A and B are shown apart, each in its own frame.
Chain A
Amino acid sequence: MEIEAPPPRRRALIGLTPLIDVVFILLVFFMLASSFLDWRLLPLHATSGTALAAAEQAPLRVHVAADGGIRLQDRAVEPGGLARALGARLAEAPGRAVVVQPEGDLPLQRLVAVLDQVRAAGASQVTLAGE
C-alpha cells in the first residue's frame, strides 16, 4: 500500500489569530480607559472684603443672588445683559478690577455662567469675594 504524502503546507510565520486577540484586547482597554472630555480652565481668585477696600481704584462689584438675580454696582441687571452693561463700564475705565460676590447658596453652575459673562465683557482682573 502506498500512502500519499500530504502536500507541504505553506505555514505562516506567526499565526494571525492570537495577534488579533491581543489587538482587540488593547483596543477595548483604550476605548474604556480613555476620556474625550473637552476641559476648559477658568482662573479662580478669591479675596476677602478688607483687601478690596484697600485697592486704590474701587472695583466694579457684581453681586449674584442665590436665585440668580444679578446686580452691578447695586443696580439690578437682567440675567443676559451683564456682559453688555459691564462692557460699557469697562470701556470707560479699561483694566478696572471686577469683583464677583456670589451669595452663599448660589450653585456653582450659575456662578460659572456669570463669570463667563464677566469674561465676555473683557474684564482682565476678576476676583471672587464672599459677602
Chain B
Amino acid sequence: MQLPPMPPRRGEDDSHLIPLINIVFLLLIFFMLAGALTRPDPFAVEPPASARAGESPGEALQILLNREGRLALDGQPLEMQALKTRLARAVEAAAEEGEGVTVHLRADRRVSSARLLDLTRQMQETGVERIFLLTLKARGETP
C-alpha cells in the first residue's frame, strides 16, 4: 500500500505572523483611541459647515432635526410635544443638582431658518440653558 505523500509541514510555529499581528494591534488601538463611538442616527442629517472654530463638544443632550422637520432626542425619534416634556423633565432633574441643561442641536443644512428659530425658542421656553448648533469644520469654501 502506498500512502499519499505527506503535505509539506508548515513552519515550526506561527512566528511569521507576529509582524502582521503587531500592525493589526496598532491599527486596532488607533481606531479605539482616535475614533469616537457613536450610536447610529435614526435618520440622515447633513450638518452645515462652519468656518469659525468653536470649542469641542462635551456631554449634552443631542437633538436631531432633519430636512423634513423630524425630531429625535438621543437617537430616539419623537414628536415636538414629547420632546418638550422630555426636556422639561431633564431641566427639572438638572435643577435639583443646581446645574443647567445643555443641548447640542444637529440640524440639517437645508432646514429652514424659521424651523430652527421655532425649535430654539421652544427649547428655551422649557428652560434649557445652553443650546449649541453642531457644525462641521468647513473644507475650503462654504457653498
List residues of chain A with CB under 8 Å of any chain B CB. Answer: 9-10, 12, 15-17, 19-20, 23-24, 26-27, 30-31, 33-46, 48, 64, 102-109, 111-113, 115-116, 119-120, 128-130
Contacts and interface: CB of A to CB of B under 8 A. Distances in A.
SS of A interface (majority) = mixed
Contacts of B51: 113, 116, 120
Contacts of A119: 52
Nearest to B24: A23
Interface of B: 12-14, 17-18, 20-21, 24-25, 27-28, 31-32, 34-38, 47-57, 104-105, 107-114, 116-117, 120-121, 124, 130-137, 142-143
SS of B interface (majority) = mixed
Given A12-B14, A36-B35, A104-B113, A112 B48 contact: yes
Contacts of A46: 117, 120-121, 124
Contact of B37 (A17, A33, A42): A33
A111 B36 contact: no
A42 B17 CA distance: 49
Contact of A23 (B28, B34, B52, B116): B28
A105 B132 contact: no
